[in-house]
Amino acid sequence: MEELNLNNVWGDPKEYKGLNIYPVKMKDILIFNSVVGCLMIEKNKIPDVNVIKMSYLNFLFLQAEDHPEIIIGLKMLLDLVLKEITIKSIDKNNEIILLINEVEIDGNDFEKIRNIIFNQNLIIIDNMMLDEEMEKRLREAEEFLASKEKPATLEERIFSYGAMTHKPYQDIKEMTIYQFNKELERLNLIKNFEVYTYPMLKGGNSEGITHWLSHIPERGRYDNVLINRSEFNNIANSIEN
């Protein structure tokens, strides 16, 4: 049984090799969003076996030969999540090693730290190996849905959360990105439960009610544009009939 860890709920740091990795707070979300892209470059989709085989850390420094802003962004990101650190890079046997407060971080360590940062801040990465055409189609579908649904901006999400909770904006600034988004997701479920439960019960559709304490499954990168086999079969059957 997987050990329950509430670090992200409380906003506590995660320790790795004696380093405390802190979740990003809402007051720093714009800085975080501007630099986290350096951890999201899709290395394994580059058609070069040597690139695919190398560590992500080595890959970043390779990319930085033509794009030095990548390492600038990486250092800004590590400063943000590790706090008050000294950092330098060394080349050991053709492998990049980071020295963070004199702690050696190799490619394997860096991958673990990268995943911790993603997990702490609800960054969804795409681990599916898709061919180029399929990926293009999914991205186009995602962009189409975004243009149709017009999701709330960050500013609007903050205002909505403040209006629903009456929490002072100074307190919202001190929340982590994880806490803010998870609370907003749960508040949305609670509001839907309050609004739709009575009409659905009155119409005899109790099976369609999602209780406000129901589990909310984690979403994948393209979940909003993908359908499962049963949904596909239902659509196919409706077309045939």
Domain range for residue 151?
138-240
Contact between residue 171 and residue 183 where contact means Cβ atoms under 8 Å apart: no
* Secondary element (H or E) of residue 231: helix 229-240
Contact between residue 105 and residue 97 where contact means Cβ atoms under 8 Å apart: yes
Contact between residue 133 and residue 147 where contact means Cβ atoms under 8 Å apart: no
Sheet with 95-100: strands ordered across: 87-92, 95-100, 103-105
Answer yes or no: is 58 within a domain.
yes
> Nearest 10 degrees: CA dihedral of 175, 177, 180, 185?
-170
Question: 44-80 burial by CB neighbour count: b if 16+ within 10 A, else e?
Answer: eeeeeeeeeebbebbbbbbbbeeeeebbebbbebbeb
C-alpha of 82 from chain center: 18
Separation of alpha carbons 26 and 90, rounded Å: 33
Q: Is the domain of 63 the same as that of 144?
A: no
Q: Is the domain of 45 the same as that of 92?
A: yes
Answer yes or no: is 61 within a domain.
yes
Separation of alpha carbons 146 and 69, rounded Å: 29
**Residue 220 DSSP SS3:** coil
Q: Is the domain of 76 the same as that of 145?
A: no
Q: What is the pLDDT along the chain (241 residues), one digit of tens a residue?
A: 345 789 999 999 999 999 999 999 999 999 999 999 999 998 988 889 999 999 999 999 999 999 999 999 999 999 999 997 888 988 888 899 999 999 999 999 999 999 999 999 999 876 554 455 655 665 555 555 556 667 899 999 999 999 999 999 999 999 999 999 999 999 988 888 777 675 655 566 656 667 666 777 776 544 554 444 444 444 445 444 4
Q: Is the domain of 109 the same as that of 148?
A: no
Separation of alpha carbons 74 and 79, rounded Å: 9
Answer yes or no: is 131 within a domain.
no
Phi/psi at 213 (5° precision): -105, 15
* Structural domain count of the chain: 2
